[in-house]
Amino acid sequence: MIDYQKQGRVALLTMNNPPANTWTVDSLNRLATLVEELNGDDDIRSLVLTGEGEKFFCAGAELSLFADGDKGQAHAMARAFGRAFEALSTFRGLSVAAINGYAMGGGLEAALACDLRIAAERAVMGLPEARVGLLPCAGGTQLLPHLVGEAWAKRLILCGERLNAGQALHIGLVEEVMPKSELLARAMALAESAGRQSPGSVAACKTLIQSARQRPLNEGRVRERDAFMALFDTEDQREGVNAFLEKREPTWRNR
């Protein structure tokens, strides 16, 4: 239910579970395994996540799985969500969510686990779990406030509000909005731009940025300097500086 294409140094992952690209334990485990494999592939520098079809990015989990109140089934889904989206969040390169349609519940949480989000003009986003007696268990309550602030997070989660693409752009939930026909090309362009940078530098910077959410500023500054010095143990540090001085494109070795 997750299609994978390698396009140059970009991995294109497409959620493909018609009609609404909903999540199952199998598709979540497939996503986690794919991302873990991509982390070990030096040829891959970035990934793009999108949905198959015209209407849905992803509508979240299959609600029928929770209809009988089976806690064992719920636990399996929660664990699968955690593994998949934590793998996505800690992917060593840039991840871009190309939100091509409805992104609801676990669909929006998949986008929240990515580094960047761009949306088609007709995209709709929301976290409606409380309407059916559930709650976002795949990072929604934790990641959304960092992006949009506590009040907007509460409006989406506690009030069940849905946002169109323009509203999502206004509050900082997405970075860009564009016609659907241009969406994937733009996402790939962003992914390719990150792929031209040093893989080691990108990975170190991403870790520092994300750790800033929970670390005191003074501790973060120390970690930042330590990470800067660690780059001097790599071949890419010398390659990047010398390529700039010699007015040529660097050849990254990812080591």
Give residue 30's pLDDT: 95
Give residue 209's pLDDT: 85
- Find the largest Cα–Cα distance for the chain: 66
Instruction: Look up residue 160 and give its two tokens.
Output: 């069940």
Identify any residues that bridge with 79 across adjacent strands, giving them in sequence order: none
Give residue 109's pLDDT: 96
User: With a cut of 70, which residues of the chain have pLDDT below it?
Assistant: 255
Give residue 157's pLDDT: 94
Neighbours of 242 (CB within 10 A): 11
**DSSP SS3 for 4:** strand
Residues assigned a catalytic role: 109, 129
Residues 6+ apart with CB under 8 A from 199: 42, 45, 92, 93, 236, 252, 254
**DSSP SS3 for 75:** helix
Q: Give the C-alpha separation, 189 to 149, whole Å.
A: 28
Give residue 216's pLDDT: 75
Give residue 252's pLDDT: 81
Give residue 192's pLDDT: 95
Give residue 225's pLDDT: 81
